[in-house]
Amino acid sequence: MTGSSGAFALLAAAWLVSVAPAHAQAGAPSSQGGGSTIQPALLYHNYCSVCHGDKGDGRSRASNSLSPPPYDFTSAKAKAEQSRERIVAFVTNGKPGTAMVSWKTQLNEREIAALADYVYTAFVQGKAPAAGATQVSGTRAHGGREAAPPAPADMSLGFPKGLKGNVAAGRAFYDRNCATCHGTAGDGKGPRAYFINPKPRDFRDAAFRARANRPMLYAAVAAGRNGTEMPAWDKVLNEQQIADVAEYVFRGFITSREAPAPGGKSPAGK
């Protein structure tokens, strides 16, 4: 599965496929005692569809922010060059120079194999995958499995195309457009938050702060998040404006030494 430059490596793992109800079902406990089941289609939805699209054709909301674009598993090229083994290798190890990261800390070998088989069968071959889930003993998938956490994001990475964000401009936009949901303190408790489900992102969350670098924030602002109130801002903002608001969030809520208190001002505004 290919995507953008390495700068976008955490996109799929982070914002756009963060907390979703379906995650708890990808490795739901088996009724056959103690194990869990693998549901490849759900794994694909949770981990891959944000870049590769629901139909495996690379036509996702995030695709406009990725360069090179996500891989199209339905193309003639894919039919000529892909195999289950090749897909397993990419899911396991990632692909340098693209947004495709290694998933071996989040998925075990049998989950990766089941996911690769699903992608190859459903999209490359265009056949209906076998019905049912795969039984796995003693593991739980993402959302239920105790997997090793992803490595912290590289906070030294910059925005795509060498863009430099302007904090002051970004804050002005954030206060006008984002604070109503995410709150002035970035705690996800803006005045509209009560009426929104799922709730707006809490930028002060320690786990989120560990993985939200500039490239990930830029892509999240640009592409939005399916199934939530978060819109794709690349429809109304240019690349510099996206970098500006992402820079404000990055400095004000992600890398500041102290997360702002609920209802307080962000460090970037001090």
CA atoms within 13 A on the CB side of 180: 8
Query: Secondary structure of the chain: what % helix, strand, coil (to 5)?
Result: 40, 5, 55
Domain boundaries, the chain: 6-136, 160-269
Domains 6-136 and 160-269 share a fold: yes
Please check whether residue 185 is in contact with residue 264, taking contact to mean a CB–CB distance below 8 angstroms: yes
CB-based contacts of 83-86 (< 8 A; 24+ apart in sequence): 83/120, 84/113, 84/116, 84/117, 84/120
Q: Check residue 131 and give its pLDDT.
A: 57
Residues 6+ apart with CB under 8 A from 35: 29, 135, 136, 137, 138, 139
What is the residue-averaged pLDDT of the chain?
Answer: 76
Residue 51 DSSP one-character state: H
The answer, yes or no, to whether residue 46 has pLDDT greater than 60, is yes
CATH number belonging to the domain at 160-269, selected among 1.10.760.10, 3.40.50.970, 1.10.3720.10, 3.30.530.20:
1.10.760.10
Q: Check residue 267 and give its pLDDT.
A: 52
Give the range among 103-107, 154-158, 192-196 with minimum mean pLDDT.
103-107
pLDDT in tens, 132-154: 544 333 333 333 333 344 556 78
Q: In which band, very low, low, confident or very high, does the pLDDT at 174 lie, cut at 50, 70 and 90?
A: very high
Q: In which band, very low, low, confident or very high, does the pLDDT at 238 lie, cut at 50, 70 and 90?
A: very high
**CA–CA distance, 113 with 31 (Å, rounded to integer):** 22
Q: What angle do CA 261, 254, 70 make, to 5 degrees?
A: 140
**CA–CA distance, 38 with 40 (Å, rounded to integer):** 6
**CA–CA distance, 49 with 51 (Å, rounded to integer):** 5
The answer, yes or no, to whether residue 189 has pLDDT greater than 50, is yes
The answer, yes or no, to whether residue 16 has pLDDT greater than 80, is no
Q: Does domain 6-136 have CATH number 3.30.70.260?
A: no
